[in-house]
Structure 1
Amino acid sequence: MPRNSDVTRNRRPRPGIAVAVLGLTGGLLTVLGGCSPGPGTDLAAPAGPSASAGHAAWPDSIPRTGLTKGMVLPLEAYMETYPESVAIERAVQRLETQCMARYGFTYRPTPPGAFPPPNNDDSNMARRYGIADPAHAAKYGYTIGDENDVPDSGPRLSTAEISVLTGRVALRPNAAKAPSTYQGKSIPADGCQGESVTRVGAAVDTGLPGRLDYESLTKSQADPRVQKVVGAWSDCMKSKGYTVDSPLNAADLAPHSSGEAGSAEITVATADVNCKQKTGLVKVWFSVESAIQRRQVEQNHLALQDVRDRITAAVKASAAVTG
Protein backbone atom coordinates (compact mmCIF):
# COMPACT_ATOMS: atom_id res chain seq x y z
CA MET A 1 0.00 0.00 0.00
CA PRO A 2 1.09 3.59 -0.44
CA ARG A 3 3.04 4.63 2.58
CA ASN A 4 0.72 7.44 3.60
CA SER A 5 0.98 8.77 7.12
CA ASP A 6 -2.06 6.94 8.46
CA VAL A 7 -1.14 3.54 7.11
CA THR A 8 2.57 3.89 7.84
CA ARG A 9 2.00 4.97 11.39
CA ASN A 10 -0.42 2.21 12.20
CA ARG A 11 0.87 -0.78 10.32
CA ARG A 12 3.78 -2.70 11.76
CA PRO A 13 5.47 -5.19 9.47
CA ARG A 14 4.55 -8.81 10.03
CA PRO A 15 7.34 -11.29 10.66
CA GLY A 16 6.66 -13.27 7.50
CA ILE A 17 9.11 -16.07 6.84
CA ALA A 18 8.83 -16.40 3.08
CA VAL A 19 11.88 -15.11 1.16
CA ALA A 20 13.48 -13.97 4.40
CA VAL A 21 16.81 -15.71 4.58
CA LEU A 22 20.36 -14.66 3.85
CA GLY A 23 21.99 -16.33 0.88
CA LEU A 24 18.73 -17.59 -0.60
CA THR A 25 17.19 -14.28 -1.62
CA GLY A 26 19.47 -11.57 -0.29
CA GLY A 27 17.03 -10.86 2.52
CA LEU A 28 17.43 -11.39 6.23
CA LEU A 29 15.37 -13.57 8.50
CA THR A 30 14.82 -11.49 11.61
CA VAL A 31 16.75 -12.72 14.61
CA LEU A 32 14.70 -11.72 17.63
CA GLY A 33 16.65 -13.36 20.36
CA GLY A 34 20.11 -14.69 21.00
CA CYS A 35 22.44 -17.60 21.53
CA SER A 36 24.84 -18.65 24.19
CA PRO A 37 27.60 -21.25 24.09
CA GLY A 38 26.47 -24.46 25.72
CA PRO A 39 25.74 -28.12 25.27
CA GLY A 40 22.46 -27.42 23.48
CA THR A 41 20.74 -30.54 24.76
CA ASP A 42 17.21 -29.10 25.04
CA LEU A 43 15.88 -29.49 21.53
CA ALA A 44 12.15 -29.58 22.23
CA ALA A 45 11.49 -25.89 21.56
CA PRO A 46 13.12 -22.47 21.72
CA ALA A 47 13.59 -21.12 25.21
CA GLY A 48 11.70 -18.06 26.40
CA PRO A 49 8.03 -17.19 26.87
CA SER A 50 5.26 -19.36 25.54
CA ALA A 51 5.12 -19.52 21.76
CA SER A 52 1.39 -18.81 22.00
CA ALA A 53 1.82 -15.64 24.07
CA GLY A 54 -0.41 -12.87 22.79
CA HIS A 55 -2.60 -15.25 20.74
CA ALA A 56 -5.76 -13.46 21.85
CA ALA A 57 -4.38 -10.25 20.33
CA TRP A 58 -3.73 -11.76 16.91
CA PRO A 59 -5.35 -9.70 14.14
CA ASP A 60 -8.73 -10.78 12.80
CA SER A 61 -8.67 -12.51 9.43
CA ILE A 62 -11.67 -10.38 8.44
CA PRO A 63 -12.53 -7.02 10.05
CA ARG A 64 -15.25 -7.54 12.63
CA THR A 65 -16.04 -3.93 13.43
CA GLY A 66 -16.19 -0.53 11.79
CA LEU A 67 -16.91 0.49 8.21
CA THR A 68 -14.77 -2.32 6.76
CA LYS A 69 -16.62 -5.05 8.68
CA GLY A 70 -16.75 -8.24 6.62
CA MET A 71 -14.76 -6.81 3.72
CA VAL A 72 -12.27 -9.09 1.95
CA LEU A 73 -10.44 -8.19 -1.25
CA PRO A 74 -9.90 -10.87 -3.95
CA LEU A 75 -6.10 -10.86 -3.66
CA GLU A 76 -6.23 -11.70 0.03
CA ALA A 77 -6.90 -15.33 -0.88
CA TYR A 78 -3.33 -15.55 -2.20
CA MET A 79 -1.52 -13.67 0.58
CA GLU A 80 0.38 -15.23 3.45
CA THR A 81 -1.70 -14.69 6.59
CA TYR A 82 -0.32 -13.92 10.01
CA PRO A 83 -1.20 -17.38 11.44
CA GLU A 84 0.54 -18.98 8.47
CA SER A 85 3.67 -16.90 8.99
CA VAL A 86 3.68 -17.84 12.68
CA ALA A 87 3.28 -21.55 11.90
CA ILE A 88 6.15 -21.45 9.43
CA GLU A 89 8.40 -19.37 11.66
CA ARG A 90 7.74 -21.68 14.61
CA ALA A 91 8.94 -24.67 12.59
CA VAL A 92 11.94 -22.79 11.25
CA GLN A 93 12.92 -21.78 14.78
CA ARG A 94 12.59 -25.38 15.99
CA LEU A 95 14.92 -26.56 13.25
CA GLU A 96 17.33 -23.66 13.77
CA THR A 97 17.51 -24.45 17.47
CA GLN A 98 18.35 -28.07 16.74
CA CYS A 99 20.89 -27.10 14.10
CA MET A 100 22.63 -24.56 16.34
CA ALA A 101 22.84 -27.18 19.08
CA ARG A 102 24.95 -29.35 16.79
CA TYR A 103 27.61 -26.65 17.04
CA GLY A 104 27.32 -26.19 20.80
CA PHE A 105 25.08 -23.11 20.83
CA THR A 106 21.83 -22.68 22.73
CA TYR A 107 19.65 -20.60 20.44
CA ARG A 108 16.86 -18.54 22.04
CA PRO A 109 14.83 -16.63 19.44
CA THR A 110 11.70 -14.75 20.45
CA PRO A 111 8.75 -17.14 20.01
CA PRO A 112 6.63 -16.24 16.99
CA GLY A 113 3.11 -15.03 17.67
CA ALA A 114 4.05 -13.25 20.88
CA PHE A 115 4.02 -9.78 19.32
CA PRO A 116 1.28 -9.71 16.67
CA PRO A 117 0.90 -6.84 14.20
CA PRO A 118 -2.43 -5.05 13.66
CA ASN A 119 -2.93 -6.51 10.16
CA ASN A 120 -3.56 -10.13 9.23
CA ASP A 121 -2.08 -9.80 5.74
CA ASP A 122 -0.65 -7.24 3.34
CA SER A 123 -4.05 -5.80 2.44
CA ASN A 124 -4.37 -4.10 5.85
CA MET A 125 -8.11 -4.10 5.22
CA ALA A 126 -9.15 -2.51 8.50
CA ARG A 127 -7.21 0.68 7.64
CA ARG A 128 -6.82 0.35 3.91
CA TYR A 129 -8.74 3.54 3.23
CA GLY A 130 -7.60 5.22 6.41
CA ILE A 131 -9.08 4.75 9.86
CA ALA A 132 -12.58 3.30 9.59
CA ASP A 133 -13.75 2.21 13.04
CA PRO A 134 -15.80 4.82 14.96
CA ALA A 135 -15.26 3.17 18.34
CA HIS A 136 -11.51 2.88 17.81
CA ALA A 137 -11.26 6.48 16.62
CA ALA A 138 -13.13 7.73 19.67
CA LYS A 139 -10.79 5.88 22.02
CA TYR A 140 -7.41 5.76 20.29
CA GLY A 141 -7.48 8.36 17.52
CA TYR A 142 -5.11 7.32 14.75
CA THR A 143 -2.93 5.10 16.94
CA ILE A 144 -3.27 1.33 16.91
CA GLY A 145 -4.31 1.27 20.54
CA ASP A 146 -3.03 -1.02 23.24
CA GLU A 147 -1.81 -3.84 21.00
CA ASN A 148 1.56 -5.46 21.63
CA ASP A 149 4.72 -3.59 20.70
CA VAL A 150 7.47 -5.09 18.61
CA PRO A 151 10.06 -6.62 20.97
CA ASP A 152 13.63 -5.46 21.25
CA SER A 153 16.15 -7.31 19.13
CA GLY A 154 17.52 -9.19 22.14
CA PRO A 155 21.11 -10.14 22.95
CA ARG A 156 23.75 -9.65 20.29
CA LEU A 157 25.11 -12.74 18.61
CA SER A 158 28.79 -13.49 18.52
CA THR A 159 30.60 -13.65 15.21
CA ALA A 160 30.71 -17.43 15.45
CA GLU A 161 26.99 -17.65 16.18
CA ILE A 162 26.17 -15.41 13.25
CA SER A 163 28.34 -17.51 10.96
CA VAL A 164 26.70 -20.76 11.98
CA LEU A 165 23.18 -19.32 11.96
CA THR A 166 23.36 -17.50 8.62
CA GLY A 167 26.46 -18.71 6.80
CA ARG A 168 27.49 -15.05 6.61
CA VAL A 169 29.88 -12.86 8.58
CA ALA A 170 27.25 -10.30 9.63
CA LEU A 171 23.51 -9.87 10.10
CA ARG A 172 22.92 -7.74 7.06
CA PRO A 173 21.82 -8.40 3.49
CA ASN A 174 24.61 -9.26 1.05
CA ALA A 175 27.17 -9.77 3.83
CA ALA A 176 30.24 -11.78 2.86
CA LYS A 177 30.13 -15.53 3.26
CA ALA A 178 31.48 -16.97 6.48
CA PRO A 179 34.05 -19.78 6.66
CA SER A 180 32.52 -23.09 5.65
CA THR A 181 33.38 -24.81 8.95
CA TYR A 182 33.17 -24.14 12.66
CA GLN A 183 35.48 -26.07 15.00
CA GLY A 184 35.97 -28.68 12.33
CA LYS A 185 32.27 -29.09 11.54
CA SER A 186 30.90 -28.16 8.15
CA ILE A 187 28.35 -25.32 8.16
CA PRO A 188 25.36 -25.53 5.78
CA ALA A 189 25.76 -23.27 2.74
CA ASP A 190 23.34 -20.70 4.14
CA GLY A 191 23.81 -21.60 7.77
CA CYS A 192 21.22 -23.10 10.07
CA GLN A 193 18.77 -20.53 8.80
CA GLY A 194 19.05 -21.63 5.21
CA GLU A 195 18.93 -25.30 6.12
CA SER A 196 15.79 -24.79 8.21
CA VAL A 197 13.96 -22.58 5.72
CA THR A 198 14.73 -24.98 2.88
CA ARG A 199 13.52 -27.98 4.87
CA VAL A 200 10.04 -26.51 5.36
CA GLY A 201 9.93 -25.00 1.89
CA ALA A 202 9.64 -21.46 3.22
CA ALA A 203 12.00 -19.80 0.73
CA VAL A 204 9.04 -18.65 -1.32
CA ASP A 205 8.65 -15.28 -2.99
CA THR A 206 5.22 -14.22 -1.73
CA GLY A 207 5.55 -10.69 -3.06
CA LEU A 208 3.28 -10.95 -6.13
CA PRO A 209 -0.05 -10.62 -4.27
CA GLY A 210 1.31 -7.64 -2.34
CA ARG A 211 2.62 -5.93 -5.46
CA LEU A 212 -0.69 -6.35 -7.24
CA ASP A 213 -2.46 -5.17 -4.10
CA TYR A 214 -0.39 -1.98 -4.14
CA GLU A 215 -1.17 -1.46 -7.81
CA SER A 216 -4.91 -1.90 -7.29
CA LEU A 217 -5.00 0.74 -4.56
CA THR A 218 -3.06 3.14 -6.77
CA LYS A 219 -5.31 2.49 -9.77
CA SER A 220 -8.46 2.83 -7.71
CA GLN A 221 -7.50 6.34 -6.66
CA ALA A 222 -7.69 7.42 -10.31
CA ASP A 223 -11.20 6.02 -10.77
CA PRO A 224 -13.84 8.78 -11.19
CA ARG A 225 -16.16 7.13 -8.66
CA VAL A 226 -13.44 7.09 -6.02
CA GLN A 227 -12.41 10.64 -6.83
CA LYS A 228 -16.01 11.78 -6.50
CA VAL A 229 -16.55 10.17 -3.10
CA VAL A 230 -13.15 11.37 -1.87
CA GLY A 231 -14.18 14.87 -2.91
CA ALA A 232 -17.40 14.52 -0.93
CA TRP A 233 -15.44 13.29 2.08
CA SER A 234 -13.04 16.24 1.74
CA ASP A 235 -15.99 18.67 1.64
CA CYS A 236 -17.40 17.02 4.74
CA MET A 237 -14.09 17.43 6.54
CA LYS A 238 -13.93 21.07 5.44
CA SER A 239 -17.34 21.68 6.99
CA LYS A 240 -15.85 20.47 10.26
CA GLY A 241 -12.90 22.83 9.97
CA TYR A 242 -10.30 20.55 8.35
CA THR A 243 -8.68 21.00 4.95
CA VAL A 244 -7.44 17.69 3.55
CA ASP A 245 -7.53 16.17 0.08
CA SER A 246 -7.47 12.45 0.86
CA PRO A 247 -8.37 10.08 3.71
CA LEU A 248 -4.87 8.65 3.32
CA ASN A 249 -3.50 11.99 4.52
CA ALA A 250 -6.01 12.68 7.27
CA ALA A 251 -3.72 11.55 10.09
CA ASP A 252 -1.38 14.43 9.23
CA LEU A 253 -4.02 16.81 10.58
CA ALA A 254 -3.68 15.41 14.07
CA PRO A 255 -1.01 16.51 16.54
CA HIS A 256 0.97 13.35 17.28
CA SER A 257 2.69 12.28 20.44
CA SER A 258 4.67 9.21 21.41
CA GLY A 259 2.09 8.22 24.01
CA GLU A 260 -1.69 7.90 23.98
CA ALA A 261 -3.78 9.93 21.56
CA GLY A 262 -4.76 13.35 22.86
CA SER A 263 -8.19 14.94 22.65
CA ALA A 264 -7.29 16.92 19.51
CA GLU A 265 -6.21 13.76 17.66
CA ILE A 266 -9.34 11.92 18.75
CA THR A 267 -11.49 14.81 17.52
CA VAL A 268 -9.88 14.72 14.07
CA ALA A 269 -10.10 10.93 13.84
CA THR A 270 -13.74 10.93 14.86
CA ALA A 271 -14.58 13.55 12.25
CA ASP A 272 -12.65 11.54 9.65
CA VAL A 273 -14.64 8.36 10.28
CA ASN A 274 -17.95 10.22 10.53
CA CYS A 275 -17.34 11.77 7.12
CA LYS A 276 -16.45 8.37 5.67
CA GLN A 277 -19.69 6.99 7.05
CA LYS A 278 -21.76 9.94 5.80
CA THR A 279 -20.38 9.80 2.25
CA GLY A 280 -20.17 6.01 1.93
CA LEU A 281 -16.50 6.35 1.00
CA VAL A 282 -15.37 2.94 2.21
CA LYS A 283 -18.13 1.05 0.39
CA VAL A 284 -17.53 2.88 -2.88
CA TRP A 285 -13.76 2.54 -2.75
CA PHE A 286 -13.93 -1.12 -1.78
CA SER A 287 -16.34 -1.87 -4.64
CA VAL A 288 -14.11 -0.16 -7.20
CA GLU A 289 -10.95 -1.82 -5.95
CA SER A 290 -12.57 -5.24 -5.74
CA ALA A 291 -13.38 -5.04 -9.45
CA ILE A 292 -9.79 -4.08 -10.22
CA GLN A 293 -8.46 -7.00 -8.19
CA ARG A 294 -10.81 -9.48 -9.82
CA ARG A 295 -9.28 -8.53 -13.17
CA GLN A 296 -5.79 -8.84 -11.69
CA VAL A 297 -6.59 -12.33 -10.45
CA GLU A 298 -7.86 -13.35 -13.88
CA GLN A 299 -4.72 -12.01 -15.56
CA ASN A 300 -2.29 -13.54 -13.04
CA HIS A 301 -4.18 -16.59 -11.86
CA LEU A 302 -1.50 -19.23 -12.46
CA ALA A 303 1.25 -17.23 -10.78
CA LEU A 304 -0.97 -16.30 -7.84
CA GLN A 305 -2.13 -19.88 -7.39
CA ASP A 306 1.49 -21.02 -7.41
CA VAL A 307 2.25 -18.62 -4.54
CA ARG A 308 -0.77 -19.87 -2.60
CA ASP A 309 0.13 -23.52 -3.18
CA ARG A 310 3.71 -22.95 -2.00
CA ILE A 311 2.55 -21.19 1.15
CA THR A 312 0.09 -24.00 1.88
CA ALA A 313 2.82 -26.60 1.34
CA ALA A 314 5.18 -24.73 3.68
CA VAL A 315 2.52 -24.61 6.39
CA LYS A 316 1.92 -28.36 5.99
CA ALA A 317 5.64 -29.12 6.18
CA SER A 318 5.92 -26.87 9.22
CA ALA A 319 3.17 -28.78 10.99
CA ALA A 320 5.14 -31.99 10.46
CA VAL A 321 8.10 -30.38 12.25
CA THR A 322 6.24 -28.92 15.21
CA GLY A 323 3.70 -31.70 15.61
Structure 2
Amino acid sequence: MTEREKDLLHEAEQRLTQSCMRERGFQMWITPRRPILQDRDLPYGLHDARWASVHGYGSAFIAQREKLRKSDPNRRYFTTLSAGDRQRAVDALHGRTRAERLEVVTPTGMTVGRFDDGCTAEAQRQLYGDLRAWFTVSTVARTLDEQRRRQVINDRAFTKAVGTWSHCMKERGFTYDSPGQARAAFMNDGGTRTAPGRKEIRTAAAEVRCADLTGLAATTRLLDERYGDRTRDAHRSVFNKKSQLEKDALTRARALVESG
Protein backbone atom coordinates (compact mmCIF):
# COMPACT_ATOMS: atom_id res chain seq x y z
CA MET A 1 0.00 0.00 0.00
CA THR A 2 0.98 3.61 -0.43
CA GLU A 3 1.73 5.75 2.61
CA ARG A 4 -1.50 7.63 1.96
CA GLU A 5 -3.51 4.41 2.02
CA LYS A 6 -1.81 3.33 5.25
CA ASP A 7 -2.68 6.70 6.76
CA LEU A 8 -6.30 6.26 5.67
CA LEU A 9 -6.59 2.84 7.33
CA HIS A 10 -4.97 4.24 10.47
CA GLU A 11 -7.39 7.16 10.66
CA ALA A 12 -10.40 4.93 10.08
CA GLU A 13 -9.30 2.50 12.79
CA GLN A 14 -8.71 5.40 15.17
CA ARG A 15 -12.19 6.80 14.51
CA LEU A 16 -13.83 3.42 15.10
CA THR A 17 -11.81 2.97 18.30
CA GLN A 18 -12.74 6.47 19.46
CA SER A 19 -16.44 5.77 18.90
CA CYS A 20 -16.21 2.48 20.78
CA MET A 21 -14.41 4.09 23.72
CA ARG A 22 -17.00 6.84 23.88
CA GLU A 23 -19.77 4.23 24.08
CA ARG A 24 -17.93 2.65 26.99
CA GLY A 25 -17.67 5.95 28.83
CA PHE A 26 -14.14 7.06 27.99
CA GLN A 27 -12.55 9.71 25.82
CA MET A 28 -10.00 9.18 23.05
CA TRP A 29 -8.22 11.53 20.67
CA ILE A 30 -7.18 10.66 17.12
CA THR A 31 -3.42 10.86 16.54
CA PRO A 32 -1.57 10.61 13.20
CA ARG A 33 0.25 7.45 12.11
CA ARG A 34 3.33 9.49 11.18
CA PRO A 35 3.55 12.41 13.63
CA ILE A 36 7.01 13.37 12.29
CA LEU A 37 6.85 12.98 8.52
CA GLN A 38 10.61 13.39 7.97
CA ASP A 39 11.50 10.65 10.48
CA ARG A 40 12.77 7.42 8.95
CA ASP A 41 13.53 3.85 9.84
CA LEU A 42 17.12 3.05 8.81
CA PRO A 43 17.57 -0.73 9.19
CA TYR A 44 20.60 -0.97 6.90
CA GLY A 45 22.11 2.48 7.26
CA LEU A 46 21.93 5.73 5.33
CA HIS A 47 21.68 5.70 1.54
CA ASP A 48 19.94 9.04 0.87
CA ALA A 49 22.40 11.92 0.47
CA ARG A 50 19.73 14.63 0.43
CA TRP A 51 18.08 13.40 3.64
CA ALA A 52 21.47 13.02 5.35
CA SER A 53 22.51 16.55 4.38
CA VAL A 54 19.50 17.95 6.27
CA HIS A 55 18.87 15.50 9.13
CA GLY A 56 22.20 13.72 9.61
CA TYR A 57 21.20 10.54 11.41
CA GLY A 58 17.95 12.00 12.73
CA SER A 59 19.18 12.75 16.24
CA ALA A 60 16.90 15.78 16.52
CA PHE A 61 13.87 13.51 16.14
CA ILE A 62 14.53 11.95 19.55
CA ALA A 63 13.58 15.15 21.38
CA GLN A 64 10.61 15.65 19.05
CA ARG A 65 9.33 12.13 19.75
CA GLU A 66 9.66 12.67 23.50
CA LYS A 67 7.84 16.01 23.28
CA LEU A 68 5.01 14.37 21.34
CA ARG A 69 4.85 11.52 23.86
CA LYS A 70 4.52 13.92 26.79
CA SER A 71 1.91 16.06 25.05
CA ASP A 72 -0.10 13.09 23.74
CA PRO A 73 -3.72 13.83 24.74
CA ASN A 74 -4.56 10.17 25.29
CA ARG A 75 -1.61 9.67 27.62
CA ARG A 76 -2.47 12.83 29.54
CA TYR A 77 -6.13 11.79 29.79
CA PHE A 78 -5.22 8.40 31.25
CA THR A 79 -3.09 10.05 33.93
CA THR A 80 -6.10 12.10 35.10
CA LEU A 81 -8.17 8.98 35.78
CA SER A 82 -8.36 7.29 39.16
CA ALA A 83 -6.60 3.94 39.47
CA GLY A 84 -9.89 2.07 39.09
CA ASP A 85 -11.09 4.09 36.11
CA ARG A 86 -7.67 3.82 34.49
CA GLN A 87 -7.80 0.02 34.66
CA ARG A 88 -11.35 0.02 33.26
CA ALA A 89 -10.20 2.29 30.44
CA VAL A 90 -7.27 -0.03 29.67
CA ASP A 91 -9.66 -3.00 29.65
CA ALA A 92 -12.02 -1.10 27.37
CA LEU A 93 -9.22 -0.31 24.94
CA HIS A 94 -7.22 -3.55 24.93
CA GLY A 95 -9.70 -6.12 26.25
CA ARG A 96 -10.25 -7.94 29.51
CA THR A 97 -8.12 -10.85 30.64
CA ARG A 98 -11.20 -13.07 30.92
CA ALA A 99 -12.12 -12.45 27.28
CA GLU A 100 -11.36 -14.88 24.47
CA ARG A 101 -7.72 -14.78 23.51
CA LEU A 102 -6.58 -14.90 19.88
CA GLU A 103 -3.22 -16.53 19.34
CA VAL A 104 -0.90 -17.12 16.41
CA VAL A 105 2.42 -18.95 16.21
CA THR A 106 4.85 -16.95 14.08
CA PRO A 107 7.37 -18.50 11.64
CA THR A 108 10.05 -17.98 14.32
CA GLY A 109 8.10 -20.17 16.76
CA MET A 110 6.92 -17.34 19.00
CA THR A 111 3.31 -17.34 20.20
CA VAL A 112 1.65 -13.92 20.01
CA GLY A 113 -1.76 -13.29 21.53
CA ARG A 114 -4.36 -10.63 22.16
CA PHE A 115 -7.84 -10.30 23.65
CA ASP A 116 -10.77 -9.96 21.30
CA ASP A 117 -13.21 -7.73 23.21
CA GLY A 118 -11.39 -4.40 23.46
CA CYS A 119 -12.16 -1.35 21.37
CA THR A 120 -8.99 -1.81 19.32
CA ALA A 121 -10.12 -5.32 18.43
CA GLU A 122 -13.67 -4.13 17.72
CA ALA A 123 -12.40 -1.39 15.41
CA GLN A 124 -10.27 -3.87 13.46
CA ARG A 125 -13.17 -6.29 13.30
CA GLN A 126 -15.36 -3.62 11.70
CA LEU A 127 -12.61 -2.42 9.39
CA TYR A 128 -11.15 -5.74 8.20
CA GLY A 129 -14.23 -7.93 8.56
CA ASP A 130 -12.47 -10.95 10.07
CA LEU A 131 -10.52 -10.08 13.21
CA ARG A 132 -8.91 -13.49 13.63
CA ALA A 133 -7.71 -13.59 10.02
CA TRP A 134 -6.39 -10.01 10.18
CA PHE A 135 -4.57 -10.60 13.45
CA THR A 136 -3.00 -13.77 12.05
CA VAL A 137 -1.76 -12.45 8.70
CA SER A 138 -0.70 -9.02 9.99
CA THR A 139 1.28 -10.59 12.85
CA VAL A 140 2.94 -13.17 10.61
CA ALA A 141 3.74 -10.57 7.92
CA ARG A 142 5.30 -8.25 10.50
CA THR A 143 7.43 -11.10 11.85
CA LEU A 144 8.54 -12.05 8.34
CA ASP A 145 9.52 -8.46 7.65
CA GLU A 146 11.72 -8.43 10.75
CA GLN A 147 13.15 -11.81 9.77
CA ARG A 148 14.01 -10.55 6.27
CA ARG A 149 15.99 -7.66 7.74
CA ARG A 150 17.95 -10.01 9.98
CA GLN A 151 18.72 -12.24 6.99
CA VAL A 152 20.08 -9.28 5.05
CA ILE A 153 22.28 -8.10 7.93
CA ASN A 154 23.62 -11.63 8.57
CA ASP A 155 24.36 -12.36 4.91
CA ARG A 156 28.08 -12.76 4.15
CA ALA A 157 27.83 -10.39 1.20
CA PHE A 158 26.45 -7.69 3.50
CA THR A 159 29.07 -8.17 6.22
CA LYS A 160 31.84 -8.14 3.59
CA ALA A 161 30.48 -4.90 2.11
CA VAL A 162 30.29 -3.37 5.59
CA GLY A 163 33.97 -4.16 6.11
CA THR A 164 34.89 -2.38 2.89
CA TRP A 165 32.62 0.50 3.89
CA SER A 166 34.39 0.79 7.26
CA HIS A 167 37.77 1.08 5.51
CA CYS A 168 36.35 3.80 3.26
CA MET A 169 35.12 5.71 6.32
CA LYS A 170 38.51 5.44 8.05
CA GLU A 171 40.18 6.96 5.01
CA ARG A 172 37.94 9.97 5.59
CA GLY A 173 38.73 10.19 9.29
CA PHE A 174 35.70 8.32 10.69
CA THR A 175 36.48 5.16 12.65
CA TYR A 176 33.29 3.13 12.71
CA ASP A 177 32.95 -0.62 12.19
CA SER A 178 29.39 -0.43 10.86
CA PRO A 179 26.66 2.02 9.87
CA GLY A 180 24.81 1.08 13.06
CA GLN A 181 27.79 2.07 15.18
CA ALA A 182 28.08 5.40 13.37
CA ARG A 183 24.42 6.18 13.90
CA ALA A 184 24.53 5.17 17.58
CA ALA A 185 27.32 7.67 18.19
CA PHE A 186 24.86 10.50 17.54
CA MET A 187 21.60 8.92 18.71
CA ASN A 188 22.70 8.04 22.25
CA ASP A 189 23.11 11.54 23.67
CA GLY A 190 19.88 11.52 25.67
CA GLY A 191 17.76 13.26 23.05
CA THR A 192 18.95 16.78 23.76
CA ARG A 193 19.56 17.89 20.18
CA THR A 194 17.15 20.25 18.46
CA ALA A 195 19.11 20.08 15.19
CA PRO A 196 21.93 17.88 13.90
CA GLY A 197 25.43 19.25 14.49
CA ARG A 198 28.12 19.74 11.86
CA LYS A 199 29.94 16.54 12.79
CA GLU A 200 26.74 14.52 12.49
CA ILE A 201 26.02 15.95 9.05
CA ARG A 202 29.59 15.33 7.88
CA THR A 203 29.59 11.77 9.19
CA ALA A 204 26.20 10.98 7.66
CA ALA A 205 27.31 12.42 4.31
CA ALA A 206 30.48 10.33 4.42
CA GLU A 207 28.43 7.22 5.21
CA VAL A 208 26.24 7.72 2.17
CA ARG A 209 29.25 8.42 -0.04
CA CYS A 210 31.10 5.33 1.15
CA ALA A 211 27.96 3.19 0.82
CA ASP A 212 27.84 4.18 -2.87
CA LEU A 213 31.58 3.85 -3.53
CA THR A 214 32.00 0.45 -1.87
CA GLY A 215 28.80 -1.07 -3.22
CA LEU A 216 27.21 -1.43 0.22
CA ALA A 217 24.08 0.41 -0.89
CA ALA A 218 23.74 -1.73 -4.04
CA THR A 219 24.43 -4.94 -2.09
CA THR A 220 21.79 -4.01 0.48
CA ARG A 221 19.15 -3.34 -2.16
CA LEU A 222 19.95 -6.64 -3.92
CA LEU A 223 19.83 -8.69 -0.74
CA ASP A 224 16.67 -7.02 0.53
CA GLU A 225 14.95 -7.76 -2.78
CA ARG A 226 16.27 -11.33 -2.88
CA TYR A 227 15.17 -12.23 0.64
CA GLY A 228 11.92 -10.34 0.11
CA ASP A 229 11.12 -12.44 -2.97
CA ARG A 230 11.96 -15.66 -1.14
CA THR A 231 9.78 -14.67 1.79
CA ARG A 232 6.80 -13.82 -0.40
CA ASP A 233 7.18 -17.04 -2.40
CA ALA A 234 7.34 -19.14 0.76
CA HIS A 235 4.39 -17.38 2.42
CA ARG A 236 2.34 -16.29 -0.57
CA SER A 237 -0.99 -17.24 1.01
CA VAL A 238 -0.29 -14.96 4.00
CA PHE A 239 0.57 -11.94 1.86
CA ASN A 240 -2.31 -12.55 -0.54
CA LYS A 241 -4.78 -12.75 2.34
CA LYS A 242 -3.35 -9.64 3.98
CA SER A 243 -3.54 -7.73 0.69
CA GLN A 244 -7.16 -8.75 0.15
CA LEU A 245 -8.19 -7.76 3.68
CA GLU A 246 -6.46 -4.39 3.27
CA LYS A 247 -8.10 -3.80 -0.10
CA ASP A 248 -11.56 -4.48 1.33
CA ALA A 249 -10.76 -2.37 4.40
CA LEU A 250 -9.76 0.60 2.23
CA THR A 251 -13.25 0.71 0.76
CA ARG A 252 -14.76 0.80 4.25
CA ALA A 253 -12.17 3.31 5.45
CA ARG A 254 -12.88 5.77 2.61
CA ALA A 255 -16.62 5.61 3.29
CA LEU A 256 -16.06 6.12 7.00
CA VAL A 257 -13.65 9.04 6.71
CA GLU A 258 -15.60 10.77 3.94
CA SER A 259 -18.81 10.51 5.94
CA GLY A 260 -17.09 12.09 8.93
Same fold per TM (> 0.5)?
yes
Counterpart of 1:88 (choices 1, 4, 9) is 9
Partner of 2:165: 233
Matched-pair contact (CA < 8 Å) for 2:212–2:218: no
Counterpart of 1:311 (choices 225, 246, 249) is 246
Once the two structures are superposed, residues 253-290 of structure 1 have per-residue CA deviations (whole angstroms, 9 ceiling, x without a partner) of: 44845221112222221221121121121112211221
Write the distance in 2 (CA, Å) between the matches of 1:134 and 1:108: 40
Aligned pair count reads 224
Structure 1 window deviating more from structure 2 (258-267 vs 142-151): it is 142-151
Counterpart of 1:242 (choices 152, 167, 174) is 174
1:109 lines up with 2:26 in the alignment: no
1:258 lines up with 2:258 in the alignment: no
Counterpart of 2:149 (choices 217, 220, 226) is 217
Q: How does 1:170-181 map to 2 (within 5 A)?
A: 176=97
Structure 1 residues 110 and 100: CA distance shift in structure 2, 3 A? closer
Once the two structures are superposed, residues 143-166 of structure 1 have per-residue CA deviations (whole angstroms, 9 ceiling, x without a partner) of: 166797445332324455873x66
- Higher share of residues assigned helix: 2
Matched-pair contact (CA < 8 Å) for 1:87–1:315: yes
Counterpart of 1:153 (choices 72, 77, 88) is 72
Q: How does 1:1-323 map to 2 (within 5 A)?
A: 82-102=3-23, 105=25, 107-112=27-32, 115-118=35-38, 124=41, 127-143=42-58, 149=65, 150-151=68-69, 152-154=71-73, 155-157=76-78, 158=81, 159-160=84-85, 163=88, 168=91, 176=97, 190-201=117-128, 203=131, 204-205=134-135, 206-254=138-186, 256=189, 258-259=192-193, 260-323=195-258
Write the distance in 1 (CA, Å) between the matches of 2:208 and 2:97: 50
Write the distance in 2 (CA, Å) between the matches of 1:290 and 1:114: 25
Write the distance in 2 (CA, Å) between the matches of 1:110 and 1:246: 39
**Partner-residue secondary structure (3-state), 1:294:** helix
Matched-pair contact (CA < 8 Å) for 2:95–2:119: no
Write the distance in 1 (CA, Å) between the matches of 2:219 and 2:183: 21
**Partner-residue secondary structure (3-state), 1:115:** coil
Write the distance in 2 (CA, Å) between the matches of 1:313 and 1:96: 19
**Partner-residue secondary structure (3-state), 2:250:** helix
Structure 1 stretches of 5 or more lacking a match?
1-79, 179-188
Q: CA deviation at 1:117?
A: 5.0
Structure 2 stretches of 5 or more lacking a match?
100-115
Sequence identity (%): 23
Which amino acid letter does the alignment assign opposite residue 93 of structure 1? Q
Write the distance in 2 (CA, Å) between the matches of 1:109 and 1:221: 38
Once the two structures are superposed, residues 192-231 of structure 1 have per-residue CA deviations (whole angstroms, 9 ceiling, x without a partner) of: 4443332112742313233222222222234333233222
**Partner-residue secondary structure (3-state), 1:156:** helix
Write the distance in 2 (CA, Å) between the matches of 1:258 and 1:278: 33
- What TM-score results when the alignment is normalised by the length of structure 1? 0.57
Q: CA deviation at 1:315?
A: 2.1
Q: CA RMSD in A?
A: 3.4
